[in-house]
Amino acid sequence: MTLHRHPFIIHHFTTLRSTSDTVKSMSDAPAFTVVTADEQTGGRGRRDRSWYSPPGDGLYLSVLLRPVAPVLSPSLISLLSAIAVAETITDLGAREVDIKWPNDVLIAGKKVCGIIAEGATSGNQASSIVVGIGVNLNQRSFPEEIAEDATSLFLATGETTDLARFRDHLLVSLSGWYELWHSGADRRIIERWEELSSYAKHRQVRIATDGEEILGETLGLARSGALLVRTPDGQVRSILAGQVSNLR
């Protein structure tokens, strides 16, 4: 199967613990190897949170990327992956699509997609990057503990989504944005992310990092993909990792 300029090799499974763990175990796999599953029993998101992965209702996908040139901003991989998902969801009829920094894709304020990008790096070169993407497509309901915060493409549009069609559309978009990143077009990725995200600028937020809680107003992204926040004392902070929430 050839999508865009890249030949994706797709391995599909009925049940896996984690598509990303399976990709990581395929040490000799070529770039653009994709693993998908009908169900994940141990799916996870950022910061080791679990990802609800019921059988048949969502797209659970991981793709192996092998950059061939020194890369100065591997953190942009998670941002461009969110762009690809947001564009795909919008193309398939969803409205009020948003991205919460760095890569949670939302519909009407509720999470529809989680992304985790992991890799081994050597200096500025990423030898391999595994991007795991979980998208809620055909779920009609969610467990009580996440029902207020989660949604699906079906709940947003009333339409059932063909998983293979969504997968192929997403991989085409992901391939295009990856190509731009690989060619050094970091600025275009930052600009597109800021276009798609209401969190990019002038949003009052609380950010929980490993060491502290930061309150402030978002000012956009640094070229590295870090979130710029002006704190109440006028200081501009560059946030590399953290959990963002709105200040009401």
HEC secondary structure over 101-163: CCCEEEECCEEEEEEEEEEEEECCEEEEEEEEEEEECCCCCCCCCCCCCECCHHHHHCCCCCH
Q: What are phi and psi of 30, to 5 degrees?
A: -75, 165
Give the residue among 116, 153, 145, 103 at the shortest CA–CA distance from 24. Answer: 116
Collapsing DSSP states into helix, strand and coil, what is residue 186? helix
Q: Where in the chain is the domain with CATH 3.30.930.10?
A: 2-196
Q: Are the CB atoms for 90 and 198 separated by under 8 Å?
A: no
> 61: Cβ–Cβ under 8 A, 6 or more apart, which residues?
19, 34, 35, 36, 132, 133, 134, 135, 167, 170
Domain 2-196 has CATH 3.40.50.1000: no
pLDDT of residue 39: 86
Instruction: Assign a CATH topology to domain 201-246.
Output: SH3 type barrels. (2.30.30)
pLDDT of residue 4: 47
pLDDT of residue 141: 85
**pLDDT mean for each 10 residues of the chain (248 residues):** 64 91 88 91 56 74 84 80 96 93 93 87 63 93 84 93 94 93 90 95 89 90 93 92 80
Predicted confidence (pLDDT) per residue in 36-93, tens digit: 998 888 755 544 455 555 677 899 999 999 887 656 567 899 999 999 999 999 999 8
pLDDT of residue 242: 86
Taking the C-alpha atoms of residue 156 and residue 138, their distance in angstroms, rounded to an integer, is: 10
Q: Are the CB atoms for 154 and 86 separated by under 8 Å?
A: no
SS (H, E, C) 14-73: EEECCHHHHHHHCCCCCCCEEEEEEEECCCECHHHCECCCCCCCEEEEEEEECCCCCCCC
pLDDT of residue 172: 93
pLDDT of residue 123: 46
Q: Where in the chain is the domain with CATH 2.30.30.100?
A: 201-246
pLDDT of residue 53: 58
220-234 burial, b at 16+ Cβ within 10 Å, e below that, comes to bbbeebbbbbeeeee
